Amino acid sequence: MFLPKPMFFINKQIKILEKKRKELKDELQELAWLHEKNCQSQKESFVTALKSMKSSVKFAVKTSRKGHQAEVVATKKQIIKALTDRKSEKT
């Protein structure tokens, strides 16, 4: 089928634009996937850090409630060490 020159030019431009549209769409989908993967990884890190923090707080509260002031002072080094160990675990 013979197309006049202007129609041939327009059809060629349409094909070029469609190809570019597909490339941009694919690139956007890949970026969205990478962003979602990054967000999921951050979420997992935050959940782990939160669990560790809650555990540390429970440990400190439990230790402080166990006994009177003398026992708390006696176990202060143990509390500090346990909290420091938990902090270093998450880094």
Structure confidence at residue 59 (pLDDT): 76
Please count the structural domains in the chain.
1
Q: Which domain holds residue 72?
A: 5-90
Single-letter residue type at 42: Q
What is the C-alpha R_g of the chain? 31
Quote the pTM value. Answer: 0.54
Those residues with Cβ within 8 angstroms of residue 72's Cβ, 6 or more apart along the chain or in another chain: 63, 64, 66
pLDDT by 10-residue block (mean), the chain, 91 residues: 75 95 98 97 93 83 69 69 70 57
Task: Locate all alpha helices (DSSP H) within the chain, ordered by sequence.
Answer: 5-66, 69-74, 76-90
Contact 52, 90 (CB under 8 A): yes
The pLDDT score that the predictor gives to residue 72 is 64
**CA–CA–CA angle 26, 30, 36 (5° rounding):** 145
